[in-house]
C-alpha cells in the first residue's frame, strides 16, 4: 500500500511545499481552502507590504512566479519596488498556482492527525474519510493563532466577532461596514495601520491605541533606502539580508535570541505608502495600554492607563484588536494528544531540525511555526524559496 505525504494547508507554504514534493515524484495529498487567509481574513482593498520580488510562491519548475501569473492572465505586471500588489490579485495568483501545479487539491479540513502503531499517521477529514499517510506537513499558517489581549477577550465572553462589539483584525474581509461608526483599533503594526486607513477611507471615525509612545511609524520608500546596505526582499539592511539569505544559521542562535528576533525584526512598522493616507485622517492615542474593557449598552468601553495622567476611559461603537498572531502548537487542535506530547516545543513553537522535521519522525512544520527555528523570513511568502526545497528533500530522504 502506497501511503501519500499529507500536506495540511493550501496557502503559499502548503502549495509550495506540495509542488516541491510532487516535483520529486512523491505521492501527495493537499488539504485546505486555497488562499483562504488572503481571500477571507484580510480586508478588501488591502495592499501587500512585500514587494513583487518578495511575493512569489516558490515552485520546483520555472513559470510560476508572480510575474509569470501576470503575463499568463494579462493583468498588470508587478515588477518594480514601486508596484503595489492588491490582495485580490495575490489571492488570484495563489489560486492560479494551485490550479496549474496541484489540480487535485482537496478543499476539506483535516479534523485529526494521530500516529498509528506502525509509526505512520492516521488522518480524518471533515468529509468523513480516514486514511494513512507516511508523513504529514503542517502548513496551516495563521489559522487559529490570532492573538487577543486578555483584557479585551474578557469583555466578550462569547468571543470576538466582526459583528459584535469587539473583533480581531483577521475576522474582517470587508471594512466598509464601519462607515459612519466610531472604531478603536488596538495595535500599531501594518495590519492595524492599514485597517484603520481603510475604515477611515470608508467613512468611519478611527482612533489607534498603542502601548508605546511614538508607536506609529512608517518604513522608507524605495528611493529613501540606505544605498550602502545590501538589498533583501524586505528592504536594504545588513540584518534583513542575513535573515533572508542565511536562515540556516538562525537555528544555531540561543533560543531567547531567536524568539526576540522573530518578534522584533520586521516588526510593527507601517508601509511607506500608508503615511499620506494615515496622517491627519486617523487619530492616535499612544503611550497608553488597555487595562480593562467592558461592554455597556452594546458599546465597548476601554480603560487606558499610562502616560502621566490618571486612567481614562474611551468608548466606541467597535474595538478591533490588530494584535497579531502567536504560534502555539497547543492551538492546533487537529493534532492528537499523543502527537502533541511527543513534540518538543520552545515557547509554543515546534523544535525543528535542518529539514523542518519535528521531534516526531515524519511530522514536519513550515511557515509561521518554523519562524522560531529559521527566522522571521518564515512569516512571509518569500520564505517558501528557502523552506520548500529543503523540506521536500528531507521528506524524500525519509528524514
Ligand atoms: C493582514 C496581513 C497582511 C500580510 N501581508 C503580507 C505580505 O504583504 N507579504 C507576505 O509575504 N506576507 C504577508 N502576511 C503574512 C502571510 O499571511 C503569510 O506569509 C502567509 O499567508 C503564510 O502562508 P501559509 O501558507 O503558511 O498560511 P495561510 O496563508 O494562512 O494558509 C493556511 C491554510 O491552511 C488551511 N488550513 C488550516 N487549518 C486546516 C485544517 N485543519 N485542515 C485543512 N486545512 C487547514 C487553510 O484552509 C489555508 O489553506 C500578511 C499577514 C496578514 C495577517
**Domain contains 246:** no
The number of distinct structural domains making up the chain is 2
Q: Which of 292, 321, 350 is the last residue of a domain?
A: 321
- Are 279 and 383 in the same domain? no
Whole-number pLDDT of residue 262: 77
Which of 85-89, 316-320, 371-375 shows the lowest per-residue confidence on average (mean pLDDT)? 371-375
Judged against a pLDDT cut of 90, whether residue 252 lies above it is answered with: no
**Domain contains 262:** no
Pairing verdict, β 299-305 and 312-315: antiparallel
- Are 132 and 177 in the same domain? no
Query: What CATH number did the domain enclosing 116 receive?
Result: 3.50.50.60
- Are 78 and 209 in the same domain? no
The Å distance, Cα 10 to ligand 1 centre, comes to 8
**Domain contains 278:** yes
The Å distance, Cα 11 to ligand 1 centre, comes to 5
- Judged by DSSP in three states, 92 sits in helix
Given the CA of residue 379, which atom of ligand 1 is nearest to it? 19
The Å distance, Cα 302 to ligand 1 centre, comes to 30
Whole-number pLDDT of residue 107: 98
| All three cell numbers of 279 | 496622517
The Å distance, Cα 64 to ligand 1 centre, comes to 19
Task: With cut-offs at 50, 70 and 90, classify the pLDDT of residue 60.
Answer: very high
Whole-number pLDDT of residue 267: 63
The string of pLDDT tens digits covering residues 123-137 is 999 999 999 999 999
**Domain contains 235:** no
Residues above pLDDT 90, as percent of the chain: 78
The Å distance, Cα 230 to ligand 1 centre, comes to 28
**Domain contains 225:** no
- In this structure, the residue with its CA closest to atom 13 of ligand 1 is 380
Residue among 37, 112, 138, 383 whose CB has most ligand 1 atoms within 8 A, to mutate: 37
Whole-number pLDDT of residue 234: 66
The string of pLDDT tens digits covering residues 256-278 is 888 888 776 666 788 999 999 99
Q: Which of 305, 321, 337 is the last residue of a domain?
A: 321
| Cα distances (angstroms) measured from residue 236 to each of 57, 110, 371 | 22, 40, 21
Average pLDDT over residues 310-316: 92
Q: Is 364 exposed, middle or buried (CB count within 10 Å of its CB: 0-12, 13-18, 19+)?
A: buried
Indicate whether residue 42 lines ligand 1 (CB < 6 A). yes
Residue 229 C-beta-side C-alpha neighbours within 13 Å: 16
- Are 112 and 12 in the same domain? yes
- Are 51 and 190 in the same domain? no
- Are 63 and 118 in the same domain? yes
Task: With cut-offs at 50, 70 and 90, classify the pLDDT of residue 242.
Answer: confident
Indicate whether residue 10 lines ligand 1 (CB < 6 A). yes
- Are 190 and 303 in the same domain? yes
Residues of the chain by 3-state class (helix, strand, coil), percent to 5: 35, 20, 45
Indicate whether residue 13 lines ligand 1 (CB < 6 A). yes
DSSP characters for 336-384? Answer: -HHHHHH--EETTEEP--TTSB-SSTTEEE-SGGGHHHH-GGGGSGGGH
Indicate whether residue 380 lines ligand 1 (CB < 6 A). yes
- Are 297 and 331 in the same domain? no
The string of pLDDT tens digits covering residues 5-59 is 999 999 999 999 999 999 999 999 999 999 999 999 999 999 998 889 889 999 9
CA distance 362 to 359: 9
**Domain contains 257:** no
For residue 295, the cross-strand partners are: 300
Task: With cut-offs at 50, 70 and 90, classify the pLDDT of residue 248.
Answer: confident
Given the CA of residue 33, which atom of ligand 1 is nearest to it? 47
Task: With cut-offs at 50, 70 and 90, classify the pLDDT of residue 233.
Answer: low
Whole-number pLDDT of residue 152: 96
Judged against a pLDDT cut of 70, whether residue 86 lies above it is answered with: yes
Rg of the chain over Cα atoms, rounded to whole angstroms, equals 21
- In this structure, the residue with its CA closest to atom 49 of ligand 1 is 10
Judged against a pLDDT cut of 80, whether residue 229 lies above it is answered with: no
| Cα distances (angstroms) measured from residue 389 to each of 15, 146, 356, 366, 379 | 12, 28, 11, 11, 17
- Are 157 and 305 in the same domain? yes
- Are 348 and 317 in the same domain? no
Mean pLDDT computed over every residue of the chain: 93
Range of the domain at 102: 5-144+325-396
Which of 148-152, 208-212, 233-237 shows the lowest per-residue confidence on average (mean pLDDT)? 233-237
Judged against a pLDDT cut of 90, whether residue 349 lies above it is answered with: yes
Indicate whether residue 33 lines ligand 1 (CB < 6 A). yes
CA distance 168 to 191: 11
- Are 39 and 179 in the same domain? no
**Domain contains 213:** yes
Whole-number pLDDT of residue 153: 96
The Å distance, Cα 118 to ligand 1 centre, comes to 32
**Domain contains 307:** yes
Q: Which of 284, 306, 321 is the last residue of a domain?
A: 321
Average pLDDT over residues 60-75: 97
- Are 61 and 194 in the same domain? no
Given the CA of residue 334, which atom of ligand 1 is nearest to it? 41
Closest CA to 6 of 371, 334, 373: 334
Residue 164's H or E segment, with its range, is none
Amino acid at each position: 500500500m502506497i501511503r501519500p505525504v499529507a500536506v495540511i494547508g493550501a496557502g503559499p507554504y502548503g502549495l509550495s511545499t506540495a509542488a516541491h514534493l510532487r516535483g520529486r515524484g512523491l505521492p501527495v495529498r493537499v488539504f485546505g481552502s486555497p488562499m483562504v487567509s488572503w481571500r477571507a481574513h484580510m480586508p478588501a482593498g488591502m495592499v501587500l507590504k512585500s514587494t513583487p520580488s518578495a511575493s512569489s510562491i516558490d515552485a520546483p519548475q520555472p513559470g510560476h512566479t508572480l510575474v509569470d501569473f501576470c503575463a499568463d492572465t494579462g493583468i498588470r505586471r508587478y515588477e518594480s519596488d514601486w508596484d503595489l500588489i492588491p490582495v485580490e490579485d495575490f489571492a488570484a495568483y495563489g489560486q492560479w498556482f494551485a490550479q496549474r501545479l496541484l489540480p487535485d487539491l482537496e478543499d476539506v479540513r483535516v479534523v485529526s492527525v494521530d500516529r498509528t502503531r506502525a509509526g505512520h499517521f492516521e488522518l480524518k477529514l471533515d468529509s468523513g474519510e480516514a486514511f494513512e499517510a507516511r508523513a504529514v506537513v503542517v502548513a496551516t499558517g495563521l489559522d487559529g493563532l490570532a492573538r487577543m489581549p486578555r483584557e479585551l477577550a474578557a469583555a466578550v465572553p462569547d468571543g470576538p466577532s466582526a459583528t459584535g462589539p469587539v473583533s480581531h483584525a483577521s475576522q474582517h474581509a470587508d471594512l466598509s461596514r464601519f462607515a459612519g461608526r466610531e472604531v478603536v483599533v488596538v495595535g500599531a503594526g501594518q495590519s492595524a495601520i492599514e485597517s484603520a486607513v481603510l475604515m477611515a477611507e470608508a467613512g468611519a471615525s478611527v482612533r489607534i491605541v498603542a502601548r508605546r509612545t511614538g508607536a506609529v511609524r512608517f518604513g522608507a520608500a524605495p528611493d529613501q533606502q540606505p544605498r550602502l546596505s545590501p538589498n533583501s526582499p524586505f528592504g536594504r539592511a545588513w540584518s534583513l539580508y542575513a535573515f533572508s539569505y542565511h536562515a540556516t544559521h538562525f537555528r544555531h542562535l540561543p533560543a531567547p535570541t531567536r524568539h526576540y528576533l522573530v518578534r522584533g525584526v520586521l516588526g510593527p512598522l507601517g508601509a511607506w505608502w500608508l503615511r499620506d493616507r494615515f496622517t491627519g485622517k486617523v487619530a492616535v492615542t499612544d503611550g497608553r495600554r488597555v487595562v480593562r474593557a467592558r461592554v455597556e449598552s452594546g458599546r465597548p468601553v476601554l480603560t487606558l492607563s499610562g502616560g502621566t495622567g490618571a486612567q481614562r476611559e474611551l468608548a466606541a461603537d467597535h474595538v478591533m484588536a490588530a494584535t497579531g498572531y502567536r504560534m502555539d502548537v497547543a492551538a492546533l487542535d487537529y493534532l492528537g494528544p499523543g502527537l502533541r506530547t511527543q513534540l518538543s516545543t520552545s515557547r509554543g513553537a515546534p523544535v525543528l531540525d535542518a529539514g523542518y522535521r519535528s521531534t516526531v519522525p515524519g511530522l514536519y512544520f513550515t511557515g509561521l511555526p518554523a519562524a522560531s527555528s529559521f527566522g522571521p523570513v518564515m512569516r512571509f511568502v518569500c520564505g517558501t524559496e528557502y523552506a520548500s526545497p529543503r523540506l521536500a528533500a528531507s521528506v524524500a530522504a525519509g528524514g
